[in-house]
Structure 1
């Protein structure tokens, strides 16, 4: 689906849901590095955040939202001197945070969980400047739980009674991909803010949909299925990365819509059971389109990582209708690490050193994707990465802009005399004021 068409559909869908939300509570919490403002909501909202100078202010506009005056906690904390609110455009809520000095502001939404409902979180960072003491005690302080880890579901293909492909010298696909998947899981678990879930950690048979269900049970942010391809021509070699094709997405959508009892919570947390057929299909199509778009981006990152290890079968991401890629709510990729039918690649697949290289290459692609696209409320979203691995098409000026650092500082930190970069190169991102 074209991005523009998707945005038009999203706008239409949003208008169908234009029911006023209410802020049920306003909470403030501060520590030495950050001040956090939390708005408890009784429904999801669209919002916009921006800053103003002279004097310093942060403005938050919430569409179709109302706030009772008695719900606004008129307390100061950190750089917040005062909180004001008003009605904008007759239906939107505008919150204004009057500040004692400049801040770096960001916001994100949290979905309901077992303890809390919808929440809008606004974080203010003062870049180490001295914070203004509160004018009066805060009446209601609530420390938000630590940001969550990204969950990476890693799926070693085949297993148990299904050995997968077999190499010339008798190597079974199910065993080598399990070793690679275990190595990838270890590296993921060593990453701050990431946690791996293996669909199988032994020689066990799982159906294709059981693998998808395991990922969904753990609320996975990404599903990575690991395989080793085979072909009748033993000369064929190289790695490949697949995402779901549009044809595969369409057939899966038809299957889900035909089984209404399985349609709940398959569209980014939105239940489809209480929607009519047209609205259900639109919501699901939007979710699938977003999932495929994210899958393509992470797949491209992983493919670029694999190019640093050895030959790739095709230099672009491929699309197919593999069942394990059909989750409409989880970005999913399938990695063919090598052709086990090629004697040379079969030999490498059994080597611990090569398995390690493949696992590290996949991790590099996963890291690059999530550092560029951190989901709200995650550790990665709240902690800027201090390293960046160059991908095809990157420029130094774009990287400097992304991390809000100067070109001069970026060059000085990495000992660069010009702007030339190469794929796979690792840059250190300078801290504020460094360089």
Structure 2
């Protein structure tokens, strides 16, 4: 064989081996997460794979094929009891494809996507089983959104959306001894929920009430869906320098962060979807809307700072604060037009001393009390109109709600109208019996007097 022929042969062999190396992957681990609206399967892979997912009926099944792959993980302890999966089977096809078959107890809508490696995970294949409206697990996010009634004389509770950061596929920051941020902040969030629920005039809503991931946009979307008067995101993050310490309270900034830590934290939190397993599939309108934030951000930023200052002051009574003032950074999760929003960093889990405190149940309760008390102090001083708190503060006298009206013009949005008239978006919805922000040109809106 000539030298040229040998060279071509080695080249072809190298290409074949390279293709097999690129396409072949071991399925090293499989995880299952149960969320209110879907069940998620995550396959940890040794490399990228080509895959396809297809459904079969009579009976309902979902088939996941991964080319040139081999299952080396156990599927016996995934905890499928509360999921739509009744049984998992697997086999390796003659062409080297690894087949996973999910026997289903009810209909689902499948969605799948691959994720590239990041700081915490290697290659992953994510398969979501979306609830399609058939009977299934109840929504564990929290109580149903408050019913908006046409009678403006009906009082309502103040709605507070409590967001425990991370969850499910995303453990958040990791501390000594395997302490996970998602567990610490869930404990604090549930205590905040308990305290507000026990206070007449408040209706807290948990953004997530279990170990599953909610996308950053999904968190703010839920706050809007429940007509929240306030959004509170709770975290316990880490910094590259383990000496960093101190709790902090953050509001949104459109001019950059107030510190190096702020830039670091915002970058990490805003990238959480890549760890939690989220791809942008059908939220293009929401992303555009987040870029085109309207005048309502001015109003919500004012309220955000007021409640943040109260929470900051409360935490400072027993904990060291990272800065003596409320800080600002570009956290995506705080971009809720018309809804005051704050993010509380309860401490640095990467700092051994603070990690020890954050692990303590008594410290978690103290932190939750500081947050809940700050929220209540804020709303007592600035209660939304037609709420039980406003009614109580006024000595039982109902305010005049419809002293003014406004006719909707072309280009108006509900949030802009609220800002122009100095009222909250929630109050404007309530007095007009609106369940969402949809309005039409020529519509006459009542403007509440707060």
| TM norm structure 1 | 0.48
- Tell which structure's C-alpha radius of gyration is larger: 2
